[in-house]
Amino acid sequence: MSQILKTTSVGSFPKPPELMEARIRFRKGDITREQLSAAEREATKAVIRLQEDLGLDILVHGEMERGDMVAYFAETWQGFEESLPVRSYGNRYYRKPIVVGRVGAKRGLTVDAWKEAQALTAKPMKGMLTGPYTICDWSFNAFYPDRRSLVLDLAEIVHQEALALEEAGAEYIQIDEPAISTRPEELELAIEAMAVVTTGLNAHTISHICYGDFDTIYPKLLDLPVDQLDLEVANQGFQLLDLIAAHPWPKQKELALGVVDVHSHGLESIASVKEGIYKALETVPADRLYIDPDCGLKTRTWEEAEAKLRLMMEAVREVRQELGSE
C-alpha cells in the first residue's frame, strides 16, 4: 500500500545567520560568488538533513540561493531592472522588479541548484518555479502595453525552465502562483498562462497559492492545469475547507493542505492540525491529500521552522496510525 498523506514543504526555509552574513558580504564585494555559493550549499545540506530527519516524503531545497521568489528570476532574466525595497507586510520588504524591456531568458537558471540538492538525497526533490502571473503581478510594468502580453511572454520562459528541470530529472515541479486570486477577472489569463507552462510536461506539476480571497476564484481555480493545488489553509483557521467541501473534488487532482501558519511565532497544537486534516479528508481521499505548511518557512527562525515541521509530522503520523496506515 502506497503512503497516504504524503508530507512535503512549500519551498523556502530560513537562511542561517552565516548565510545571511555571506549574502551581505557578497553584496559589498567582500567575498566572491564561489564563496557565497559554498555558504548556500552548506545551508542547503542542513535543510535537506532536517527534512530527512523529520521523515518528510517529498523534499524542497530551501531556496538558499534566492532572496525573493520573483526577484530571483528577474535579477537574471532580460527585460528587468531591480528596484529599491518595497514593504509587503509587517517589517518584510522585497525588491519589486521593474519590467523595462521585452522579457527573455537563457534556459536552466534553476537546474544546477536542483541537481545539487537532488544529489544529496534519495527522496524526490521538487523543482521550484514562480508562475508567470505572479511574476507579472509582483513587478512594476514600465514597458508592456498590457498585463496579458507580459504574462504570456513570461509563461513561455517559465515553460522552458520547467522543461529544463524535467530534462534534468525532476519528478515534481512546483509553479507558485500566490497572486492568482488578486484579480478574479484575470483568472482565465492565469489559467491560460499555466497551460503554456505545463503543456508537454510529464513531471508531477504543483501550484502553490496563498493569502488571497479564494471565494472569488473557486471553483474555477480547479481548472488550473496542474496535478496538485497546494493551498494555505491554517492561516484562516481551516475555513477554506468549507468552500472546498462545497464542490466535488476533481478525480485527477491532488490537494496539498497547509496545516501550520508560517506567519505566526506560536506553535499550533497537534489536535488542531489533526482536526484540519480530518476535515480535509471528508472531501479529498487520503491518497490524494498531501500535508505541508501554509507557505514557505523563510519568515520563521530555524527553530520555529523545525518545531512547526516536527509538529506537522507528528500530527500526520498519528492520523496515519488512526487510519491504520502506519
| List of residues contacting other proteins (CB under 8 A) | 83-91, 93, 95-96, 98, 137-138, 140-142, 179, 181-183, 211-213, 235-237, 261, 263-264
- State the nearest-atom distance from the C-beta of 40 to other proteins, in Å: 22
Compute the least distance from the CB of residue 212 to other proteins, in Å. Answer: 5
Q: Judged by CB, which is closer to other proteins: 69, or 175?
A: 69
Tell me the sheet residues that pair with 95: 85
Q: Write down the least CB distance from residue 24 to other proteins, Å.
A: 12
Contacts of 263 (CB under 8 A, 6+ apart): 89, 235, 294, 295, 299
For residue 146 the three cell numbers come to: 498590457
Contacts for 272 with CB less than 8 Å, ≥ 6 apart: none
Instruction: Please report how close the Cβ of residue 261 comes to other proteins at its closest, in angstroms.
Output: 7
Nearest by Cα to 165 from 174, 153, 176: 174
Q: How far apart are CA 31 and CA 36, in angstroms?
A: 7
318-322: long-range contacts, CB 8 A cutoff, minimum separation 24: 318/270, 318/274, 319/5, 319/274, 319/277, 319/278, 320/4, 320/5
Return the number of the residue (55 or 85) whose C-beta is nearest other proteins.
85
**Shortest spacing between CB 181 and other proteins, in angstroms:** 7
Q: From CA 181, how far away is CA 166, in angstroms rounded?
A: 28
Question: Which three cell numbers, joined as nine digits, stand for 138?
Answer: 509582483
Which CB sits closer to other proteins, 1 or 84? 84
The β-bridge partners of 81 are: 98
Nearer to other proteins, 34 or 89 (CB): 89
Cβ nearer to other proteins, comparing 159 with 208 = 208
Alpha-carbon distance of 204 to 202, in angstroms, equals 7
Closest to other proteins by CB, 177 or 254: 177
Residue 89: CB minimum distance to other proteins, A = 4
Residue positions counted in the chain? 326
Whole-angstrom distance, CA of residue 258 vs CA of residue 272: 12
Query: Rounded to the nearest 5 degrees, what angle is found at the Cα of 92, between the Cα atoms of 148 and 260?
Result: 90
> Least distance (Å) from other proteins to the CB of residue 146?
13
How far is it between the farthest Cα atoms of the chain? 57
Output the smallest distance, CB 46 to other proteins, in A.
21
Considering beta carbons, is residue 141 or 160 the nearer one to other proteins? 141
| Nearest CB to other proteins, comparing residues 5 and 135 | 135
